[in-house]
Structures are given as C-alpha cells and as structure tokens.
A and B are shown apart, each in its own frame.
Chain A
Amino acid sequence: MELFANLAHGFVVAFSPINLLMCLIGALVGTLVGVLPGIGTIATVAMLLPITFGLPPVGALIMLAGIYYGAQYGGSTTSILVNIPGEATSVVTALDGHQMAKQGRAGPALAIAAIGSFFAGCVATVLIAVLGAPLTKLALAFGPAEYFSLMVLGLIFAVVLAKGSVLKAIAMIVFGLLLSMVGSDIETGASRMAFNIPELADGLGFATVAMGVFGFAEIIRNLDHGAEMDRNLVQQKITGLMPTRKDLIDSSPAILRGTVLGSILGILPGGGAVIASFAAYTLEKKLAKNPSRFGRGAIEGVAAPESANNAAAQTSFIPLLTLGIPPNAVMALMVGAMTIHGIVPGPQVMQKQPDLVWGMIASMWIGNLMLIIINLPLVGIWVRLLRVPYRLMFPSIVVFCAIGIYSVNNAPVDVVLAGAFGLVGYWLIKHDFEPAPLLLGMVLGPLMEENLRRALLISRGDWSVFLSRPLSAVLLAIAAGLLVLAVLPALRAKRDEVFVESEG
C-alpha cells in the first residue's frame, strides 16, 4: 500500500501547474529534438541544462526527463518519412517504416510508432514504480563479461535483420566495428586511426556517420536517374492516416513483446535502448510466419522497435533512481542537474527525495499521455510534409542535418566527415550493402571492445570467464543459436540452387 501512497504523492507533485508546464515543455522540446535529424538528446540536454538552474529542481528534472523520452517519440518521424534516423534507437525503425511510407502508409507507420511508444511508456513507468528496486540487481549483475556477451548477441541481431546477403551484412558490421575503433585507446590513451585530427581524438560521432550513410546518401540516391519513380511513389500514394483494424491486430503482439524486451534491456547501463530496438525487430522477424515481409513495410517492424526503445528509455531511469548511478550520457547530465541543485543522487535518493523521485515517475506517465496527444495529430502534418517538392525538402534536410551534426561538438570537421560518409553510403547503397548493420556495429563496437578488455583485465587474460559466468554463457549460447538460424536458410538456399542447377 506504500506504493499507492507514494504514487499518489508523486501525482500531487507532478500535477502542480509549474511541473505540468515543465512536463509539457520537455515533451514538446523532446519531440522537436527527435524530429530534427542530427540534433541528439545529449546535445540538447547539455544545452538546456544551464537554463534549468533557475528552476525548482523537481520541475527541472521533469523537463529534462521529458526531453529524453519525448525524443524517442520524435526520433521515428524522420526515420519513417525520409529514411534518416535521428537517434541510434530509431535506426531499425527506418527499415520498415520508410518502406511503409513508400507504399503511402506513412500515416499508419507514424501512428503505430506513437501508439507503441505510449503503451510501452505506460507499462515501463509502472515497472519503475513497482519493481524499480529489485530490478536494480540486474544492472549490478552485469559485469564486463556479461556486457561483452550481450554485445556479441547484439551484433548477431544485426546479421539477422539484414534482408539481403548475410555475407554483406557481416561485412557491414565489421566495417562499423572498424569505424568505432577510431579515437583513443581506452586502456593506454594512445591515438588510433585519428590521423592527428584533434576532432577525431574522441572517435567518430554517431550523428556524423548516421547522417552521412543514411541521410546524405539517401538524398544523393534520390537524385540519381532511377529514383524518380520512387520519389513520385512516396508523394502521391498516401492512403489513410490512421492504422486500420488489421494493422492494430498485427502490431499488438509486437508492441507487447517490444515493451517486455525494452523494459529489461533498458535497465542495463550503456547501449540498452539501442540493443532493445534491434532485439525487438529481430524477435519479430524470427517469430513472423513470413519473415520476407520484413524490410518491405511490415508494420510489426515499426511497432516492436519503437515500443522497445521507449520502454528502454523509461526503465533506464531505474539505476539513476535506485542507485544514483547514471547509466548513460543523458542521465549523467541529469545527475549534473541534480548536483547543481544541491541534490547528490545516491542509493538513498528514494527515501531522501520522495518528491523528486515519485514526482518524476508520475510525470513520466503524464508526459507519455501528453506525447501521444501531441504526436497523433502531428501525423497528418508530417505526412503532408511528404508532399513538399523535393527541390525544397532536400536542401532543408541537408541544412538541418548539417546544423545538427555541427551542434553536437561545435566542430566543422564533423560536417565535412558526414559529407564524406554520404559518398561512402551512396556507394554502399548502390552495391546493396545495408547501412543499418554498419551503424549497429559502430554503436556497439566501443562497448564490446571496452568490456572485452575489462573482462580480460580482471580475469588476467583468461578467456573462460565468458563461459564460466552463467549470464554471459547464456547470452553467448543465444547468440550462437541465432547465428545458426541466420546462416541455415542461406546454406539451404545454396543447396537448392545446386540442386536446381544439377537438374537443369
């Protein structure tokens, strides 16, 4: 019953006019940040942090939290409409989301993304309130060995989600891993593949590469001759803004599964939300009766990852609220916001700052409600944006991307690099290499390398830790199983080809 008292208290805090206003501002800014390609949540929260110093701490944190999960709603918009993922977590959404847009179904795709996010957000909020404390153990049970194995699993997901050749998908993952190694060596601080460019000392940014291989490359591809038909397709054939009954029935189980996966993976510090979105997509593709629909506009391929990334965004607050340890860069900024207000979060933050913790939890539910109210009517506006002539839309996308990339580090080099990656991306598209596995490799690469090295440092070079620790062993076993499942059809297909040839 204490829970209800706490929640009731939280709602009293969250419903104060100032906190409602903060929540709304956060949700609106978050949506905007998500929608604008290249402008990431970390950069936005960092930029807005100083503004919050003049606000009461609870209101300030409610607003910052709103930006964070609000961006998960908005992030899918550009993925679906123009095939440019604004956040790492919406990379997979682009796979089927943009295909749906090409089939004139941008409206249902955007709507199902918002509905899935709303459902996931609500469930995850309850989860934080009810199970926050026990789930904390999961965050602590994950040591370097477990993380490494989880990253291996994540990379296998990347292979599975490729719709074309498995070999090309693996090549892209390896390319992504290589790109992730640019920067400073974590153990020695030595510079790797940075070519004495100071801006590369901390590695390539996600926004830089994503905007290049997805955004700029997509625009270049659209400009070449064969793409004209494609373009007209997106513009003319818009059928219905809201999902049909069938869409809803198809996506309900996907939303449920995505929520569960996202809630669990979100608790893990680090790349939880990214892995969650990939894992949810992979799961749907594996469970589907007809996996070949994926990558060609399957609504489950939008519903599952969008639910997963939003659930993960919410549950990633658990380590912050129960342990006082920020699980990712945005949360670290929120800890900074608390510190400036004289609140140093720690394991006792729930007892010492009930207003803050329960107010924030309650505000998440309110925020999610606001977000769906904001986002559903926006669907119509976004879809109408597709009718904007390309000669106007493309230059504006390029400008927004460039501003976004520049704003991450205020580094002109990043914009130039994004341009170079645009050319790389165009070459890749032309040769049927998919950019999604590349980005996954790039996002997971550093986590994988660092945790591999940490695990081996702690075990003094003994590789058996990955198998002797049960959680790690289970993750590796799942990864091995998935890989076999992914490779088998390819092998079988080859055998079929051989048979066909021998018969002919």
Chain B
Amino acid sequence: MMSIRSLAGACLSAFAALGAFAVPASAQNYPTRTITMIVPFAAGGPTDVISRIVTAHMAQTLGQSIVIENVVGAGGTTATTRAARAANDGYTLITGHMGTHAASVPLYPKLAYHPEKDFEPVALLAGTPILILARKDFPPKDLKEFVAYVKANAEKVNAAHAGIGSVSHASCELLNSILDVKPVGVPFNGTGPAMNALVAGQVDYMCDQIVNAVPQIKAGTIKAYAVATPERNPSLPEVPTTTEAGLPAFQAQAWNAVFAPKGASPAIIATLNAAAIKALDDDNVRKRLLDLGSVIPAPANRTPEALATLVKNEIAKWTPVLKPAS
C-alpha cells in the first residue's frame, strides 16, 4: 500500500512535471491548436475584411487555422472587453481598431478595459484612409472653399456621422475641432444610412472610410475634397491629400491591428508578429488590401513597439477631441 507521503510526493512530482511541461510548450511549440481571432464588428465590415485577408495568410505561416469570431455591440467595446478577459495563451486574439483601442477611452468613461494596460500589441495590419465627403451640389469646390464655407455658415451646415463612437463620428469631430466649428451632427445607424442621406442631399458633409465612398465618388453621386493621409490613395488618384489641399493638421485613418490579452509571452507575440509581417509582404494579400483602398504599414511601423506607440499617440490625439462630446 502506498503511504500518504509517497502519494503526496507522487502527486507533487506529477504536478511539477505537468507544470514544467505546460509552460514552455505553450510558448515554444505555439501554436498547437486553432487560434480564435475576435473581430469586434459584423462580418463584411472593413475591419472584418482586413482581418480575414491577413489572417488567412497568417494561418498558412503558423500551420494552424485561425477562426474569426465576429462579436458585435457597443461600438466594438463588448468584444474588446471579452478579449481583455480571455486567457493570455495566444489562442485568443483580437483585431482592434482606432475606435476600440483609442477613441473608446474618452467616449466610454466606464470602459471595462484599457487599450494600453490590458493588451499586448502584436502588429499593425492596415489603415483605411478617411475622406472628407460632401453632397454633390454642396457649394464649395475644393477644400479651401469648404473650410471657408463651413466657417462662414457654421449655423447652417449639417454633418452626418454613422453613430456615436464610429470612425466617421470621431474623424468628423477631429475635423470640426481643427476648423474650430460646431456644425449640427446628424447621427445615423451605420455608414449605409449616412451615405444614403449624403447621396440624397439631406446632409451636407461627412467624414468616412474610403472603402464605402469610392464607388459613389466615381459615379458622381457625392464629392470628395481630400484624403486625410500623407499620400494620395491609388484608388482615388485625383483626390488631393489634406496637406496638398491646405489642411495639413487633419490626418486620420482607421487603423486595424492585432492585439493579444495582457501577459501573453514575448515569444508568442514575436511568432504572431512575424506571421503578420510575412502576410503583409505577400503580393496577393497586398493586392487585396490595396484594392480596398487600404494603406499597408511601412516596415518600420510593423513592430509591436511601433503599435504600442501608435496606440499611445492615438489615445492622446482623440481624447481632447471626443471628451466634450460624451
């Protein structure tokens, strides 16, 4: 019969063996099973599409499949809260974006997570430039005239946005704060209805991501004054940048990036980051992202450290703009 002591000893050593086995295995052989990527928005939206394009390639590199889980609600913060509370073993990741990991800080005072404290940055995937758009018969012809017109008619103009906390809302608030105007902001439920109102001429202007706007601009149902990135976008070569058009202060893009819950091991982060970079260098991935009007980050901006800096800067950028609104 086994004595109590030897039983306890056996248990202990088994425990120790288990622990010794478990810790390095999760980091060294990672990944050994399917990874879940939480996307905080509905399937088919810009963040979802970018995630799917990049993670499909990452899955090949990692040799494990990556399942996308779309968790919608409360401007993406529901999903981000869930990701913050997930196990930090590298098997639950999240594609966060400008809203969930920066603008949410001033917008939701009771936010159940903090983008910097509760997440490990993994890699920046792609940015979607913001455009300044207007109804097709809005009087100003270019951005200079637009600035003058909006300032002169601040009481009369209406700016549409896709709901509090949306990219279009945040970027419009940034534009308005730079112009120092307070037009009436008309909220819509999503970019579709907002775009419908702009096409129908019920509202004067809005800021929105390039994906939805390109076909409307090309068809002449709305017009674009400028793109808020340092360089012109290949999908709209005729639209000037805000710098060229005389409003260099307005720089905005809806960036999308992968984050892991806080405490994920550096080895896992490095593995994931390498896979993401490899995906961003793949010709097919690049083509698909560029077709969407996305901006692929330069090599220097693809490290976890660069992403950490981006998050910090973005929180600093959006906090003063969005604080008074909430």
Footprint of B on A, CB under 8 Å? Answer: 46, 49-50, 53, 139-144, 184, 186-189, 198-199, 201-202, 269-270, 319, 323-327, 331-337, 339-340, 342, 344-349, 409-410, 450, 453-454, 457-458, 460
A340 partner, pick from B49, B200, B218, beta carbons under 8 A? B49
Once A340-B49, A347-B215 are accepted as A-B contacts, the answer to whether A144 and B196 lie under 8 Å apart by CB is no
Provide the bound-state CA to CA distance between A268 and B322, in Å: 33
- Determine whether B184 belongs to the interface, using a CB cutoff of 8 Å to chain A: yes
CB within 8 Å of A: which B178-224 residues: 184-190, 192-193, 195-197, 199-200, 202-203, 211-212, 214-216, 218-219, 221
- Determine whether B48 belongs to the interface, using a CB cutoff of 8 Å to chain A: yes
CB within 8 Å of A: which B259-307 residues: 288, 291-292
Across the interface, which residues of A come within 8 angstroms of B48, CB to CB? 336
Question: Are B196 and A323 in touch, CB under 8 angstroms?
Answer: yes
Across the interface, which residues of A come within 8 angstroms of B199, CB to CB? 140, 323, 325
Provide the bound-state CA to CA distance between A99 and B81, in Å: 46
Provide the bound-state CA to CA distance between A344 and B191, in Å: 14
Chain B residue at minimum C-beta to C-beta distance from A348: B219
Chain B residue at minimum C-beta to C-beta distance from A203: B73
Top 6 nearest A-B pairs by Cβ distance? A336-B44, A346-B215, A189-B164, A347-B219, A140-B200, A49-B43
Question: Are A198 and B81 in touch, CB under 8 angstroms?
Answer: yes
Provide the bound-state CA to CA distance between A189 and B2, in Å: 65
Once A139-B196, A332-B44 are accepted as A-B contacts, the answer to whether A184 and B74 lie under 8 Å apart by CB is yes
Across the interface, which residues of B come within 8 angstroms of A334, CB to CB? 44
Across the interface, which residues of B come within 8 angstroms of A409, CB to CB? 72-73
Total cross-chain contacts (CB, 8 A)? 132
Question: Are A332 and B189 in touch, CB under 8 angstroms?
Answer: no
Chain B residue at minimum C-beta to C-beta distance from A188: B164
Provide the bound-state CA to CA distance between A71 and B292, in Å: 32
User: Whole-angstrom distance from the CB of A268 to the nearest CB of chain B?
Assistant: 11
A332 partner, pick from B42, B164, B185, beta carbons under 8 A? B42
User: Whole-angstrom distance from the CB of B206 to the nearest CB of chain A?
Assistant: 13
Question: Are A336 and B215 in touch, CB under 8 angstroms?
Answer: no
Provide the bound-state CA to CA distance between A139 and B195, in Å: 12
User: Whole-angstrom distance from the CB of A450 to the nearest CB of chain B?
Assistant: 7
- Determine whether B165 belongs to the interface, using a CB cutoff of 8 Å to chain A: yes
Once A46-B70, A323-B196, A324-B215 are accepted as A-B contacts, the answer to whether A335 and B44 lie under 8 Å apart by CB is yes
Chain B residue at minimum C-beta to C-beta distance from A194: B74
- Determine whether B78 belongs to the interface, using a CB cutoff of 8 Å to chain A: yes
Provide the bound-state CA to CA distance between A46 and B68, in Å: 12
Question: Are B44 and A339 in touch, CB under 8 angstroms?
Answer: yes
Across the interface, which residues of B come within 8 angstroms of A346, CB to CB? 214-216, 218-219
User: Whole-angstrom distance from the CB of B88 to the nearest CB of chain A?
Assistant: 22
Question: Are A340 and B192 in touch, CB under 8 angstroms?
Answer: no
Across the interface, which residues of B come within 8 angstroms of A140, CB to CB? 196, 199-200
Interface size on B, residues (CB 8 A): 51
Across the interface, which residues of A come within 8 angstroms of B114, CB to CB? none
Query: Can you report 28 residue pairs joining A to B where beta carbons are below 8 Å apart?
Result: A49-B43, A50-B43, A139-B200, A184-B74, A186-B164, A189-B107, A198-B78, A201-B73, A202-B73, A269-B196, A270-B193, A324-B215, A324-B216, A325-B192, A325-B196, A332-B42, A336-B49, A340-B52, A342-B288, A342-B291, A344-B214, A409-B72, A410-B71, A450-B188, A453-B187, A457-B158, A458-B158, A460-B184
Across the interface, which residues of A come within 8 angstroms of B73, CB to CB? 199, 201-202, 409
Provide the bound-state CA to CA distance between A319 and B46, in Å: 20
13 further interface pairs, Cβ-Cβ under 8 Å (given A46-B43, A198-B81, A347-B216): A49-B43, A143-B200, A269-B196, A323-B199, A324-B215, A325-B195, A340-B49, A345-B215, A450-B187, A454-B186, A454-B187, A457-B158, A458-B203
Across the interface, which residues of B come within 8 angstroms of A188, CB to CB? 164, 325-326
Across the interface, which residues of A come within 8 angstroms of B192, CB to CB? 269, 325-327, 331-332, 335
Across the interface, which residues of A come within 8 angstroms of B325, CB to CB? 188
Once A201-B73, A346-B219 are accepted as A-B contacts, the answer to whether A184 and B291 lie under 8 Å apart by CB is no
Question: Are B219 and A186 in touch, CB under 8 angstroms?
Answer: no
Chain B residue at minimum C-beta to C-beta distance from A49: B43
Provide the bound-state CA to CA distance between A331 and B292, in Å: 19
Across the interface, which residues of B come within 8 angstroms of A450, CB to CB? 187-189
Question: Are B326 and A189 in touch, CB under 8 angstroms?
Answer: yes
- Determine whether B45 belongs to the interface, using a CB cutoff of 8 Å to chain A: yes
- Determine whether B163 belongs to the interface, using a CB cutoff of 8 Å to chain A: yes
Which DSSP category, helix, strand, loop or mixed, fits chain B's interface?
mixed
Chain A residue at minimum C-beta to C-beta distance from B201: A140
**Which one of A139, A331, A457 has the highest number of Cβ atoms from chain B below 10 Å of its Cβ?**
A457
Chain A residue at minimum C-beta to C-beta distance from B71: A410
Across the interface, which residues of A come within 8 angstroms of B43, CB to CB? 46, 49-50, 333, 336
Across the interface, which residues of A come within 8 angstroms of B74, CB to CB? 184, 198, 201-202
Provide the bound-state CA to CA distance between A450 and B189, in Å: 9
Across the interface, which residues of B come within 8 angstroms of A331, CB to CB? 192
Chain A residue at minimum C-beta to C-beta distance from B112: A198
Once A189-B107, A189-B326, A198-B74 are accepted as A-B contacts, the answer to whether A143 and B202 lie under 8 Å apart by CB is yes
Provide the bound-state CA to CA distance between A332 and B46, in Å: 12
User: Whole-angstrom distance from the CB of A187 to the nearest CB of chain B?
Assistant: 5
Question: Are B202 and A457 in touch, CB under 8 angstroms?
Answer: no
Provide the bound-state CA to CA distance between A53 and B211, in Å: 18
Across the interface, which residues of A come within 8 angstroms of B197, CB to CB? 143-144
Chain B residue at minimum C-beta to C-beta distance from A409: B73
Provide the bound-state CA to CA distance between A345 and B216, in Å: 9
User: Whole-angstrom distance from the CB of B213 to the nearest CB of chain A?
Assistant: 9
Once A186-B164, A188-B326, A346-B219 are accepted as A-B contacts, the answer to whether A141 and B200 lie under 8 Å apart by CB is yes
CB within 8 Å of A: which B10-43 residues: 42-43
Question: Are A344 and B215 in touch, CB under 8 angstroms?
Answer: yes
Across the interface, which residues of B come within 8 angstroms of A323, CB to CB? 196, 199, 221
Chain B 54-97, CB-CB to A under 8 Å as 1, else 0, gives 00000000000000101111100010010000000000000000
Provide the bound-state CA to CA distance between A282 and B234, in Å: 53
Question: Are B189 and A348 in touch, CB under 8 angstroms?
Answer: no
Provide the bound-state CA to CA distance between A458 and B215, in Å: 26
Across the interface, which residues of B come within 8 angstroms of A349, CB to CB? 215
Provide the bound-state CA to CA distance between A201 and B193, in Å: 21
Chain A residue at minimum C-beta to C-beta distance from B212: A344
Chain B 219-256, CB-CB to A under 8 Å as 1, else 0, gives 10100000000000000000000000000000000000
Across the interface, which residues of B come within 8 angstroms of A201, CB to CB? 73-74, 78
Across the interface, which residues of A come within 8 angstroms of B187, CB to CB? 186-187, 450, 453-454
Across the interface, which residues of A come within 8 angstroms of B185, CB to CB? 187, 457
Across the interface, which residues of A come within 8 angstroms of B184, CB to CB? 457-458, 460
Provide the bound-state CA to CA distance between A457 and B183, in Å: 10
Across the interface, which residues of B come within 8 angstroms of A344, CB to CB? 211-212, 214-215, 292
Provide the bound-state CA to CA distance between A189 and B106, in Å: 12
**Which one of A270, A332, A334 has the highest number of Cβ atoms from chain B below 10 Å of its Cβ?**
A332
Chain B residue at minimum C-beta to C-beta distance from A183: B74
Chain A residue at minimum C-beta to C-beta distance from B164: A189
User: Whole-angstrom distance from the CB of B253 to the nearest CB of chain A?
Assistant: 18
Question: Are B196 and A50 in touch, CB under 8 angstroms?
Answer: no
User: Whole-angstrom distance from the CB of B94 to the nearest CB of chain A?
Assistant: 15
Across the interface, which residues of A come within 8 angstroms of B70, CB to CB? 46
